[in-house]
């Protein structure tokens, strides 16, 4: 036997002796216990990790920013499956009651008209102007639809109201409770007279089962009781909705003009203003009309034939005066009431265009938003977006700062410009802009705005967004042409705006095109200058 073989035999013998030793069962059981303990520890750590990430996922759903404000997550048993409700919107739709009334009680409609444009709710001093289908709201890829109704009420609304939603496909309406919210900044005019008319947005949540069936309502009624006869029945506007849902491209800009109330002939000024808007890229101008001069009517008719202007007749609801002279005096005297009334056409204009235009721009006919380095609004907003790339998804409106071109400043008579032009001859302005955020005018996003007033978005559709971003004066300015300083800021005007002036030729780049276009329209309308 070789040396190597003998060494191998000895080693194997020692190994056999070790295995057969009396101590081996204890040694084996110790290793088994260690192995089992390790496995238990791994399972426990895995369970804790799964539980941690489950809690984290639920928390992330419940605290996501929500359009109507976060009210905490909770569980509601629907069809035997627990559903996480992460926002007040989801809660409203998943828990809202659909009222059942007998058919004979729900179909009796006796419309109470008021001042040709308004409908009165029951025997209350609540008046409705218009209604619209709003399908914009999306939360975690779920869509929630509303019918938005614009109205006014004498005093603040304290009681509940109900929406009766009418569909062609079924005889009985769907009845839900309305959400009522005042369109107003609560820090404005905090103690109004009890007889003040307040502007309201009534929001009717459309039951999920209805819009998931692709059923759209034709009319909506509002009443103080869920059942019984009703005195209102408004058509539900949804122009452009189907194209919008199918991804159709909207136009860019619509300008909204509050109720025009002019007895004097401003027709030539109006043409100059409108034509400059169209050069800037405006697609259509919505003009709400109280009383106008006949020549102004000719101008509006001319543009309406080409689809460039849409005229909407307007009146005041309730016992407010509508005789032209009395109404003009009333609106000049009751300043806060005038501002509340203006919210009706501005928000009507917003909702008319939520599917048709990217932005609505509330403007008066003595105001114009002018790019500094660009020629059109589109080019100007591209410049703004390059400098502020996150702004378009963070803010619901974008403002241009106000600067005054007053008649008391010396105007420059340009021999190349006909005398009947107004803005092209006013080239001297205040050297100082208004305080940032004051007297601004804005591009209001139709995608992200819930309510609007004459300066910017009042309330975003999504509460995680901010209302307004003021653009730098190196990009854009808002030219404000007035005879004199506004009386409500006269002391500030005297020390800041009248004292320091400068020449401003920002409109000179439009001179040739604007003169050509205005002359064509004057000829087309048959006006004399």
Query: How far, in Å, CA of 138 to CA of 149, rounded?
Result: 20
Q: What is the H or E stretch that residue 463 is in?
A: none
Nearest 10 degrees: Cα torsion 406, 409, 415, 416: -30
Query: How far, in Å, CA of 120 to CA of 129, rounded?
Result: 9
Q: Is 87 helix (H, G, I), strand (E, B) or coil?
A: coil
Query: How far, in Å, CA of 183 to CA of 286, rounded?
Result: 20
Give me the residue label for tokens 């009796």. Answer: 108
Percentage with pLDDT > 90 across the chain: 70
CB 154 within 8 A of CB 318: yes
Q: What pTM did the predictor assign?
A: 0.83
With 80 as the cut, is the pLDDT of residue 74 above it?
no
Query: How far, in Å, CA of 284 to CA of 279, rounded?
Result: 12
Quick: pLDDT tens for 240-259: 999 999 998 889 999 999 99
Query: How far, in Å, CA of 120 to CA of 128, rounded?
Result: 6
- Locate the domains of the chain by residue range: 92-238, 250-365, 366-515
Quick: pLDDT tens for 194-239: 999 999 999 999 999 898 888 999 999 999 999 989 999 999 999 9
Q: Where are the beta strands (DSSP E) in 189-347?
A: 197-205, 219-223, 234-237, 251-261, 284-291, 309-313
Quick: pLDDT tens for 80-102: 334 444 567 777 787 778 888 87
How many degrees, rounded to 5, is the angle at CA 34 between CA 32 and CA 37?
Answer: 110
Mean pLDDT of all residues in 3-13: 42
Which residues face 443 on adjacent strands? 398
Residue 332, phi then psi, degrees to nearest 5: -75, -35
Residue 135's pLDDT is 96
Quick: pLDDT tens for 48-61: 555 555 444 444 33
CA atoms within 13 Å, Cβ hemisphere of 230: 26
Written out in words, the top-level CATH class of the domain with range 250-365 is alpha beta
Residue 266's pLDDT is 97
Residue 129, phi then psi, degrees to nearest 5: -105, -50
Residue 382's pLDDT is 96
Q: Is 215 helix (H, G, I), strand (E, B) or coil?
A: coil
């Amino acid at each position: 036997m070789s040396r190597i073989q003998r060494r191998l035999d000895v080693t194997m013998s020692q190994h056999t002796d070790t295995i057969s030793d009396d101590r081996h069962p204890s040694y084996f059981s110790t290793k088994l216990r260690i192995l089992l303990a390790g496995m238990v520890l791994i399972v426990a750590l895995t369970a804790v990790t799964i539980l941690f990430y489950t809690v984290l996922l639920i928390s992330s759903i419940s605290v996501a920013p929500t359009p109507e404000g976060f009210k905490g997550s909770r569980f509601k048993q629907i069809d035997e499956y627990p559903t996480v409700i992460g926002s007040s919107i989801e809660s409203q739709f998943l828990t809202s009651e659909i009222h059942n009334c007998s058919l004979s009680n729900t179909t009796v409609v006796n419309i109470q008209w008021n001042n040709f444009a308004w409908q009165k709710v029951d025997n209350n001093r609540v008046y409705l102007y218009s209604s619209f289908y709003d399908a914009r709201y999306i939360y975690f890829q779920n869509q929630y639809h509303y019918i938005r109704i614009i109205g006014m009420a004498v005093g603040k609304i304290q009681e509940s109201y109900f929406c009766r939603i009418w569909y062609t496909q079924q005889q009985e309406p769907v009845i839900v409770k309305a959400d009522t919210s005042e369109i107003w900044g609560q820090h404005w005019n905090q103690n109004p007279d009890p007889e003040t008319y307040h502007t309201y947005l009534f929001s009717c949540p459309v039951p999920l089962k209805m819009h998931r069936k692709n059923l759209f309502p034709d009319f909506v009624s509002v009443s103080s009781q869920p059942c019984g006869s009703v005195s209102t029945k408004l058509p539900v506007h949804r122009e452009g909705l189907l194209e919008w849902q199918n991804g159709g491209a909207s136009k860019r800009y619509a300008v909204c003009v509050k109720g025009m109330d002019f007895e004097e002939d401003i027709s030539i000024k109006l043409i100059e203003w409108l034509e400059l808007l169209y050069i800037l890229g405006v697609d259509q101008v919505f003009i709400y009309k109280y009383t106008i001069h006949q020549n102004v009517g000719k101008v509006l008719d001319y543009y309406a034939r080409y689809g460039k202007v849409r005229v909407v007749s307007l009146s005041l609801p309730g016992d407010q005066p509508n005789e032209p002279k009395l109404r003009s005096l009333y609106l000049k005297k009751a300043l806060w009431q005038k501002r509340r009334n203006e919210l009706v056409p501005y928000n009507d204009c917003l909702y008319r265009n939520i599917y048709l235009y990217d932005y609505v721009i509330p403007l008066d006919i003595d105001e114009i938003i002018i790019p500094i380095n660009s020629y059109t609004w589109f080019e100007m907003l591209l410049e703004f977006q390059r400098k502020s790339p996150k702004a378009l998804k963070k803010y619901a409106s974008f403002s241009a700062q106000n600067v005054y071109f007053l008649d008391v400043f010396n105007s420059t008579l340009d021999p190349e410009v006909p005398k009947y032009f107004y803005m092209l001859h006013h080239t001297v302005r205040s050297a100082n802009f208004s305080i940032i955020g004051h007297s601004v005018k804005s591009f209001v996003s139709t995608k992200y705005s819930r309510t609007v007033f004459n300066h910017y978005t009042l309330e975003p559709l999504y509460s995680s967004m901010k209302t307004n971003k003021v653009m730098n004066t190196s990009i854009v300015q808002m030219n404000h042409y007035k005879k004199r300083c506004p009386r409500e800021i006269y002391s500030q005007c005297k020390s800041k705006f009248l004292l320091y002036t400068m020449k401003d030729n920002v409109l000179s780049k439009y001179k040739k095109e604007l003169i050509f276009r205005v002359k064509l329209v004057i000829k087309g309308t048959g006006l004399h200058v």
